[in-house]
Amino acid sequence: MRNSIVKEDLARIHEGLGEKRAALAGNSVVITGCAGFLGFYITQYFTRYASELGIPKVVALDTFLLEKPEWLSRLGEEFPDILEIRTFDIAKDDLTEIPGVADAGYVVHGASIASPTFYRKYPVETIDANIWGLRHILDLYRGRQSLKGLLFFSSSEIYGDPDKDSIPTGEEYRGNVSCHGPRACYDESKRFGETMCWVYAQQYEMPVTIARPFNNYGPGMRLGDKRLPADFAKAVIDDRDLIILSDGTPTRTFCYVSDAVTGYLLCLLHGRYDYFNIGIEKPEIMVRELAEIYRAAGAETFGYSGQVHYEQSEDPAYLADNPNRRCPVIAKARQELGYAPSVLVEEGVRRYLQFLKEEMKS
């Protein structure tokens, strides 16, 4: 493994799972959406640690609609006996045609476009992955005793734009979401996906666990992702000014990817129906503060000299239904999963930029 940041992060994930990782022994793992941001660490963790974990096979599926990344091809070449990579549309193709998939012990359904720029470009594909893709998975694995855990990636976007009394936001908040508009294809398909998970868990006693991610960032996020952490990172690398297409006052908590993936895998290993916020509860900072963190870390890592500027998007719907604040309550995940995120945003941004610097050299 060439990148020191990835190596360290995978080791953190492994340590964060503790004794619970023993449940993986003897079980194959299926991952949909393997080429995505979160797939970057999830696929590498299960593959690189397969021998230690006792995982005989990792089946990685993706449509590669946006790209087929080089890291995934290299990983497949490095571990040909462990990792099977297939171009596959979970919403349309037949899972039973892949040998051994039906007998997998753990399934991670991460196939979905998550960047607003791209799910607005591919709204039908986004809906299909979250609804029909999930339905195909649930139908295949219901009643199968081999299935130990099934993880569905929902989203903190199911909460919409919470009222001020519901921030920080706990899992029982029911949401303030529009079923019309540029974000609805993503938000509402995630909400309905959760409903399907609940129904199948109730009707068929399936071990489905739902994760609701809160603003993840870090290695694996493509520079062309079009979400804020990637946009800022690309500006730093290109030595351009950091452009904010708002007044910079919306607030978020930002969860570094190794903390987030540890939480998701703890959800997978939970082995029964439940739903968890996965993120970090502090600090909740304004977008303009995040820009300053990138500016400082960029100067330290790359000798970056750009400044922060505010502009207005040429897209009139750019900020439509964009939540003003996003901050999770993660007490449930802490208590029931042992989830303990620790990487604060200043450290996380430095790690992300250092990862990119090493990638540029390799």
* Banded pLDDT at 303 (limits 50, 70, 90): very high
Q: What is the arithmetic mean of pLDDT over 290-305? A: 97
Please check whether residue 10 lies inside any domain of the structure.
Answer: yes
* Banded pLDDT at 312 (limits 50, 70, 90): confident
Q: How far apart are CA 105 and CA 145, in angstroms?
A: 9
Cβ burial, residue 117 (10 Å; 0-12/13-18/19+): middle
Model confidence pLDDT, tens digit, residues 189-220: 999 999 999 999 999 999 999 999 999 999 99
State yes or no: pLDDT of 317 exceeds 70: no
* Banded pLDDT at 283 (limits 50, 70, 90): very high
CB 279 within 8 A of CB 253: yes
Count structural domains, the chain: 1
Which residues are within 8 A (CB) of 11 and not within 5 positions of it... i.e. 6 or more apart?
none
Whether the upstream peptide bond of residue 168 has omega within 30° of 0, thus cis, is yes
Please check whether residue 304 lies inside any domain of the structure.
Answer: no
Q: What is the CATH number of the domain that holds 101?
A: 3.40.50.720
Distances (CA, A) of 325 to 95, 108, 123, 169, 330: 39, 28, 24, 10, 16
Q: What is the arithmetic mean of pLDDT over 52-60? A: 98
Please check whether residue 179 lies inside any domain of the structure.
Answer: yes
Give the structural domain span for 122: 4-221+257-281+324-343
Please check whether residue 119 lies inside any domain of the structure.
Answer: yes
CB 263 within 8 A of CB 315: no
Model confidence pLDDT, tens digit, residues 170-183: 999 999 999 999 89
β-sheet bridge partners, residue 243: 309
Please check whether residue 202 lies inside any domain of the structure.
Answer: yes
227: nearest Cα among 201, 254, 202: 254
**What does 71-90 look like in DSSP terms, one character per residue?**
HHHHHHHH-TTTEEEEE--T
Please check whether residue 180 lies inside any domain of the structure.
Answer: yes
Please check whether residue 247 lies inside any domain of the structure.
Answer: no
CB 158 within 8 A of CB 193: no
State yes or no: pLDDT of 224 exceeds 60: yes
Please check whether residue 238 lies inside any domain of the structure.
Answer: no
Q: What is the pTM of this model?
A: 0.96
Q: How far apart are CA 233 and CA 297, in angstroms?
A: 10
